[in-house]
Chains A and B, each alone.
Chain A
Amino acid sequence: MLFWAMAAAVPVIIHFLSRRKVREEDWAAMQFLLAAIQRSSRRLRIEQLILLMLRVTTLVVFAVGLADVSCQQSSHLASSAVDQSATHTVLVIDNSYSMDYRWAGESCFERAQAAAKSLVERAEEGDAFTIVTLGDPARATIASPVYDLGEVVHEIRQLRTQQRGASLGNTLTKIRSVLEDARAAYPRLTREKVFFFTDLCRSTWGAVTTSICEREIQRIADRAALVLVDVGVADAVNFAVTALRISNPAAHASQMVEFDADVRQFGAVESGQRTIQWFVDDERVHQQEVTVSAEKDRISVRFEHRFESAGEHTVELRCDDDALVVDNHRWLAVFLAQQFDVLCVRGKKNAARFVHFALQSGQPRIQSRIVSELELLGGNLDRFDCLFLCNIGRIGAEETRELSNYVRNGGGLVIFLGDLIVAENYNRQLGGLENPQRLLPAEVGNARTAAHFGFDPLNYEHTIVQPFRGNSQAGLLTTPVWKYFQLSPYESDELSVALSFVDGDPAIVTERFGHGRVVLVATPASTASLARNGDSTLPWSGLATWPSFPPLVHRMLEFAVSGHRAKRNLEVGQTIQVVVPGGRTGAPVYVTTPDRRRVQFHSSRSPWTYPDTTLSGIYRVQLAGPAAENHYFAANVNTAESNTARFPRSQLPALLRRAEDPQKDRGIVISEGRTSIFRWALGCVFALLLVETLLSWRFGRGRV
């Protein structure tokens, strides 16, 4: 509509046309006319310029006014122009999976849809709606105000719950963004309301008291009325499988593999029997009954199974259906390796020998070989399940890049320090919180020498030292250590200290990087590292020769390679990554989703990613080629949302408690003093026309 601004050229054209329409007059008193022109030419030019500018400005302002109106959807222009109290209503509908809770034949989400639909159908002429889902992530399914109520209702019907929780902070930010955009584009929507249709699940609304949420609510409430419509169920009870684990991540075929799971009942616990079924590769293999009571709302169940073959397998635990179905299942993708390939890299002679012996001892399925540090870059690291770096003095930049990619793609890495280590080099190449290629869980400090050091197992909580619990004869606590590097763990949620010295310094620190895991040991894995103590020379540690060393190395291996397995088991919404072997890039990739849909993609790069894990269940990824590779991935819901505890209404911010009946509040007038540009433009046009008329009269005939 700004094309109307072209009308500004009309006065100019008229100006030139009028110049052409001149009458001719033979004139005798020329000397007086010329004198008059000379006297008034400057004034005339200014006057003409003023008039011209006034006329142009008038039309431009008018065009701006028209454009302001026309920016709105033209079909609603009349109504929006007439109804100055039109309301913009943001429908915020919680679509976290707790909204699937069914009660009295209807789910919370269906009640929310019905309430929102009812609200829309009662809207007044000129009202407009937007829709934002309270989820993770929050989405504006209708981002710009829509006046077509039928379209809004249709969109509400199309909404579905996600098998995920909800982020209140993100949702509030999204709501504010939608409101601000609407204010800019639809000035005639002078009232704003925000309706929350939610079950008030604590896992979602617990964040409402955080400073971020309080600030966002305040900013929204400054200009909009907030209405919370509670569609939840009081005293809801929910039974959920909250965890499913494999007890031995490094299990192999023909080995009895143990699984354990946590089953919880949320809400008012009702005593009674529950049936739990185990499925392996989609076949039911076990069923057990559990008893739930008020005293025991969390039950751990165990199950053992011997897989007949190595490779990809799936395990599913299934409970009886209840009011909330989605969390009654839990899946596990299990990869049983035929064998583990381990590469031991030595920095000096014999540095890795003890590790190699420990790995080979009684474990025919572990294939280990020792190479010099010079061969670290020689081959393809992806062939190995785990790397043991033993007393490697310095790590180069290229080695750092290779190791970082290897670990983040799921490889295991165990680092034993020693007398060759240059701490500064390690910290620079592999350390530093800002370093995107960081692989060290802790900063390597100075080597510390003392008469004797003992280990503190830290209550055997870490999976690496768990087998030593109650086995004091294994010798872990009596391991002699004379020298070690002081480690300063970084601040990281993925980091844990598995073992420490008695004086508190960490001895073994682990951390997860990407899909892989790293184990850092403060002492050497051999007796080749020697420390001079007065006149005597002692090895840094007797760890390598101690009876606890072989089982400790095995646990380190299992822990390190479990990262590879962990990347197969995701939460809904996380991205599947598949390493495409060299030469097969570009080959078709087939994904079979939990709802049995088979979708074809192309593996354009490695790792190939699939982000659309919107459903819980097993995703089967097949890399096409001469030898088709199958990879199973399990996506499970984050069971925080399974907790049916509701956030107390009394603890909600007062702004959210202000109105609970959607029909009562017509919303806040957000711009009482605000007049639309169109009205201002019309006023200006009128004033400009008046001024132009007066000036024309004054400049022309009016003066004579």
Chain B
Amino acid sequence: MAEDYQKYLSPQTLAKLQSLELRARHVVEGYVSGMHRSPYHGFSVEFAEHREYVPGDDLRYLDWKLFGRTDKYYLKQYEDETNLISYLLLDTSESMRYRCDSSPFSKLEYGQCAAASLAWLVLNQQDAVGLATFDDKVKSLVRPGSNASQLKQIIHAVDTVTSEPKTELGPILHDLAERFRRRGIVVLISDLFDDPKSVLAGVKHLCHRRHDVVVFHLLDSAELDFPFDGMTRFKGMEQTVETTADAPSLRKAYLEEIRRFVDTIRSGCREQQVDYRLIRTDEPLDTVLTEYLASRSRQHGAGV
């Protein structure tokens, strides 16, 4: 376990993050303790509403009476008072494993480090953090928690990911939006290689659930620069197709495609007031996180 910590939590990164905080942009309902009052429904004292059961939900909260009346599975949800809840969504699909020769990390490795660092940060500020990893479906789900063992669970979940080709990201976001009933900060760490409309629809769903969504769009430097020279056979990591092409002659068209994709995601996020950060994997993680957190603090003001 000690090795896992060293693998994903660089002392340099943590040292820089130590002085920073991850704060929610909106505080919706009452402040109880800590720095935040969560606006989200939980499973606590005051009943809030029912939600349809989805596999993976804790059966303890199943409303058996309602089941008896309707033959439908519904969970009882209660209004809760808690600290900030952060949901870290880490894309572990096959495409995330891409790493060009000049990059120090694959996108997945970079995302793992980012997720671990953010978890450490949130836990360090006495807030709760959860983690969901997904590829073609949700692979693991660590419920938000703020106890001492939470970081260990998250790092374990991050470390044991397996990759499958991703089909569509949008439905997975829809699924998770339904699962995360308690409002919080949703940090999506992914290359978002899917139909932008589908992705943005999923993001929109999360926003609709009143989450504070942050998108860390991870892309390899090669995916952004397309530096290949000469004839290259490209073998799809998530698709069985492969194609051979003269890379220099394709560069312009490819860069236009990727730019259009990034612009679409970026503008879609902006429309939904979602924080969007395009991250190149050759950028130092500590720099990326500190810059982002600092800029977030500047935008929303301390204590907001």
Q: Which residues of A contact B (CB under 8 A)?
A: 18-19, 21-37, 39-40, 44, 47-48, 699-701, 703-704
Q: Which chain B positions have C-beta within 8 A of A35? A: 253, 257
Q: Across the interface, do B193 and A21 meet the contact criterion of CB distance under 8 Å?
A: no
Q: Which chain A positions have C-beta within 8 A of B96? A: 28
Q: Across the interface, do B233 and A44 meet the contact criterion of CB distance under 8 Å?
A: no
**B47-55, B125-133, B240-248: which lies at the A interface?**
B240-248
CA distance A704 to B244 in the complex (A): 20
CA distance A703 to B247 in the complex (A): 12
B237 is contacted by which of A28, A34, A701 (Cβ under 8 Å)? A28
Q: Which of B11-61 contact A (CB under 8 A)?
A: none
Q: Across the interface, do A34 and B243 meet the contact criterion of CB distance under 8 Å?
A: yes
Is B67 at the interface (CB under 8 A from chain A)?
Answer: no
**Given A22-B244, A37-B250, A699-B249, do A28 and B191 touch, yes or no (CB 8 Å)?**
yes
Kindly provide the distance from the CB of A199 to the nearest chain B CB, expressed in whole angstroms: 77
B252 is contacted by which of A21, A23, A24, A703 (Cβ under 8 Å)? A703
Q: Closest 8 A-B residue pairs measured CB to CB?
A: A36-B253, A28-B95, A28-B98, A30-B236, A32-B257, A36-B254, A27-B234, A22-B231
Q: Can you spell out 10 A-B residue pairs with CB atoms less than 8 angstroms apart?
A: A22-B232, A24-B235, A27-B235, A28-B95, A29-B98, A30-B238, A33-B257, A37-B245, A44-B249, A48-B246
A29 is contacted by which of B233, B245, B246, B258 (Cβ under 8 Å)? B258
**Given A21-B230, A36-B254, A39-B253, do A26 and B243 touch, yes or no (CB 8 Å)?**
no
Considering residues A30, A40, A704, which has the most beta carbons from chain B within 10 angstroms of its beta carbon?
A: A30
Is B223 at the interface (CB under 8 A from chain A)?
Answer: yes
Q: Which chain A positions have C-beta within 8 A of B230? A: 18, 21-23
Q: Across the interface, do A25 and B256 meet the contact criterion of CB distance under 8 Å?
A: no
CA distance A24 to B238 in the complex (A): 16
Question: Apart from A23-B233, A31-B239, what are 4 other A-B pairs with CB-CB below 8 Å?
Answer: A26-B98, A28-B220, A28-B223, A35-B253
B231 is contacted by which of A18, A40, A47 (Cβ under 8 Å)? A18
CA distance A47 to B248 in the complex (A): 13
Q: Can you name the residue of chain B whose Cβ is closest to the Cβ of A18?
A: B231
Residue-wise, chain B 248-270 has the 8 Å CB interface mask toward A (1 for contact) of 11111111111001000000000
Q: Across the interface, do A700 and B248 meet the contact criterion of CB distance under 8 Å?
A: yes
Q: Across the interface, do B249 and A27 meet the contact criterion of CB distance under 8 Å?
A: no
Q: Across the interface, do B241 and A34 meet the contact criterion of CB distance under 8 Å?
A: yes
Q: Across the interface, do A25 and B257 meet the contact criterion of CB distance under 8 Å?
A: no
A31 is contacted by which of B94, B193, B228 (Cβ under 8 Å)? B193
**Given A30-B234, A30-B241, A34-B243, do A25 and B252 touch, yes or no (CB 8 Å)?**
no
CA distance A22 to B253 in the complex (A): 20
Kindly provide the distance from the CB of B226 to the nearest chain A CB, expressed in whole angstroms: 9
Kindly provide the distance from the CB of B113 to the nearest chain A CB, expressed in whole angstroms: 18
Q: Can you name the residue of chain B whose Cβ is closest to the Cβ of A39?
A: B253
Chain B interface extent, by class:
35 or more
Q: Can you name the residue of chain B whose Cβ is closest to the Cβ of A23?
A: B232
**Given A34-B241, A44-B246, do A25 and B254 touch, yes or no (CB 8 Å)?**
no
Q: Across the interface, do A704 and B237 meet the contact criterion of CB distance under 8 Å?
A: no
**Given A31-B193, A36-B254, do A22 and B241 touch, yes or no (CB 8 Å)?**
no
CA distance A700 to B228 in the complex (A): 12
Q: Across the interface, do B249 and A700 meet the contact criterion of CB distance under 8 Å?
A: yes
CA distance A27 to B220 in the complex (A): 11
Q: Can you name the residue of chain B whose Cβ is closest to the Cβ of A21?
A: B231
Q: Across the interface, do B249 and A47 meet the contact criterion of CB distance under 8 Å?
A: yes
Q: Across the interface, do B243 and A37 meet the contact criterion of CB distance under 8 Å?
A: yes
B248 is contacted by which of A23, A24, A31, A704 (Cβ under 8 Å)? A704
Q: Across the interface, do B220 and A32 meet the contact criterion of CB distance under 8 Å?
A: no
Q: Can you name the residue of chain B whose Cβ is closest to the Cβ of A32?
A: B257
Q: Across the interface, do A704 and B251 meet the contact criterion of CB distance under 8 Å?
A: yes
CA distance A36 to B226 in the complex (A): 12
Q: Which chain B positions have C-beta within 8 A of A37? A: 243, 245, 250, 253
CA distance A291 to B303 in the complex (A): 154
Q: Which chain B positions have C-beta within 8 A of A33? A: 234, 243, 245, 250, 254, 257
CA distance A618 to B191 in the complex (A): 113
Q: Can you name the residue of chain A whose Cβ is closest to the Cβ of B101?
A: A25
CA distance A510 to B234 in the complex (A): 101
CA distance A18 to B233 in the complex (A): 12
Q: Can you name the residue of chain A whose Cβ is closest to the Cβ of B195?
A: A31
Q: Which of B180-237 contact A (CB under 8 A)?
A: 191, 193, 219-220, 223, 228, 230-237
Q: Which chain B positions have C-beta within 8 A of A19? A: 231, 244
CA distance A39 to B255 in the complex (A): 12
B257 is contacted by which of A18, A22, A36 (Cβ under 8 Å)? A36
CA distance A29 to B225 in the complex (A): 12
CA distance A34 to B235 in the complex (A): 11
**Given A18-B231, A39-B253, do A27 and B98 touch, yes or no (CB 8 Å)?**
yes
Q: Across the interface, do A25 and B258 meet the contact criterion of CB distance under 8 Å?
A: no
**Given A40-B253, A703-B252, do A25 and B246 touch, yes or no (CB 8 Å)?**
no
**Given A30-B238, A699-B249, A704-B248, do A36 and B256 touch, yes or no (CB 8 Å)?**
yes
Q: Which chain B positions have C-beta within 8 A of A24? A: 232-233, 235
Q: Which chain A positions have C-beta within 8 A of B244? A: 19, 22
Q: Across the interface, do B250 and A25 meet the contact criterion of CB distance under 8 Å?
A: no
Q: Across the interface, do A25 and B191 meet the contact criterion of CB distance under 8 Å?
A: no
Q: Across the interface, do B235 and A32 meet the contact criterion of CB distance under 8 Å?
A: no
Considering residues B241, B254, B258, which has the most beta carbons from chain A within 10 angstroms of its beta carbon?
A: B254
Q: Which chain A positions have C-beta within 8 A of B234? A: 25, 27, 30, 33
Q: Can you name the residue of chain B whose Cβ is closest to the Cβ of A47?
A: B249
